[in-house]
Amino acid sequence: MTDIDKSISIPMKKIKLTSLLLLALFSCKEDGGGGTVPPEETPGILKEKAAFGIGAAIKTSLFTDAVYTATVKKHFSQVTAEWEMKMESIWSSSTAYKWENADRIVSFATDNGLEVHGHTLVWYKSFPQWFKTAKYDSVTFEAKVKEYIQTTVTRYRGKVESWDVVNEIFNDNGTLRSVDCPVFATFRDPIGFYGRCFRYAHEADPDARLFYNDYSVVLASNKRAAIKKMATRFKNEGVPLHGIGDQFHYRVNTDKNTMKTGLNDMASTGLLIHISELDIVVNTAQSESYEFTATEAAKQAATYQYIAEIFEAIPAAQKFAITTWGVSDKNTWLTDYWHRKEYPLLFDQNYNEKQAYKGLLSGLK
């Protein structure tokens, strides 16, 4: 078998990589002394190297920036709305839905061959004010939420491949979140209610893969145990739960070994695994004098690389996707929620690939 035969029998993604390598080989320049100067190393492109989804949280307010949209299209294979597909954004009153922004996110994805991971159908923080004020009894509450889930999932059936059905219901100590949680305040068996939410979503789109999503899953062992217990209950009761997401809003100094142990424990459920909102804080001390130096960039790159490696080490069939929570350091929720000086993502303010990008890329198999 010649090399050409080999490249014909391998998947599309690999053909692209092979051509890139050939291109790099043949584009070596002659130098003055008659030798060849190798061109800058072509590091490759995340979505082409990964055998699973590479996602980014996006928002329509940035669609006017052509560099932003070009970056998303070039490097990512799936998108998630950072907030425009949350209940609060869509469900404007008890009788009205506002689809405009969510529709634009989904059209952007379909027009550009990207998958959409929907985020999120039920989240305590995103119940609209009008809903909370109504103080529905459990029967009306559930009928309303069922209608919301089914209207939304049906609208995007076939276009949104997967959904976070339920987000952040546990405290880190494994108890159910009670503070500000309308579900906890209304139902005697909140987990029973959440299970029915999965059933409602599944009825509306039987092909969509349905996730439970939370933060600190790999770090907080009691929270993880509670999630696993819920997954077992759902399995026994036939609730369609297909995957678990850990947001991965972590830091350069987050303990790596704990991340690995926790991720493997998540994978022991046999469910799909999603690193769903990845970003890595560098200004851990929240210092005004912080500078994102080359040394800091290298530390961050090492963290990204490690995360790719531990994700690659879980069983292939369970690797759903790695999604970063934003695209460039120019627009990250962490400059509001963490510190003004923060540089957590894969691209810098000018959409150049950071060391972090190369780190994540080199951690992929």
Nearer to ligand XIL, 280 or 364 (CB): 280
Contact between 81 and 123 under an 8 Å Cβ cutoff? The reply is: no
In the chain, the N- to C-terminal Cα span, in Å, equals 24
Figure out which of the listed residues 159, 185, 333, 353 binds ligand XIL, where binding follows CB under 6 A.
333
Tell the residue number behind the tokens 């780190």, with chain if given: 359
Annotated active-site residue 168? The verdict is yes
Identify residue 190 by its one-letter amino acid code: P
Find out whether 72 and 111 touch, Cβ atoms under 8 Å: no
Residue showing tokens 């080999």: 6
Helix (H, G, I), strand (E, B) or coil at 259: helix
From the candidates 168, 203, 309, 353, give the one annotated as an active-site residue: 168
CB nearer to ligand XIL: pick between 152 and 167: 167
Q: Which of 71, 152, 162, 247 binds ligand XIL (CB under 6 A)?
A: 247
DSSP-derived letter for residue 287 is -
Determine, following the binding rule CB under 6 A, whether residue 331 of this chain makes contact with ligand XIL: no
Give the residue, chosen from 77, 167, 254, 323, that forms a contact with ligand XIL under the rule CB under 6 A.
167
Tell me whether residue 48 or residue 277 sits nearer to ligand XIL (CB atom): 277
Considering only 63, 83, 136, 184, the residue that binds ligand XIL (CB under 6 A) is 83
Tokens representing residue 365 in the block:
């198999």
By CB under 6 A, the residues from 266 to 285 that bind ligand XIL are 277
As measured in angstroms, the least distance from the Cβ of 352 to ligand XIL is: 22
Residue 277 CB, nearest approach to ligand XIL (Å): 6
The residue annotated as part of the active site, out of 277, 288, 291, 353, is 277
Alpha helices in 238-277 (DSSP H): 256-267
Taking CB positions, which residue lies at the least distance from ligand XIL? 333
Which long-range contacts does 191-194 make (Cβ < 8 Å, 24+ apart)?
Answer: 191/230, 191/233, 193/142, 194/122, 194/165, 194/166, 194/169, 194/230
Total Cβ atoms within 10 A of residue 269: 18
- 171 near ligand XIL, judged by CB under 6 A: no
Tell me, by CB under 6 A, how many residues bind ligand XIL: 6
Angle at CA of residue 356, ends 56 and 115, nearest 5°? 20
**Catalytic annotation on 277?**
yes
Task: Give yes or no for residue 246 binding ligand XIL (CB under 6 A).
Answer: no
Residue 82 in the binding site for ligand XIL (CB under 6 A):
yes
Residues known to be catalytic: 168, 277
- Interface residues with ligand XIL (CB under 6 A) are 82-83, 167, 247, 277, 333
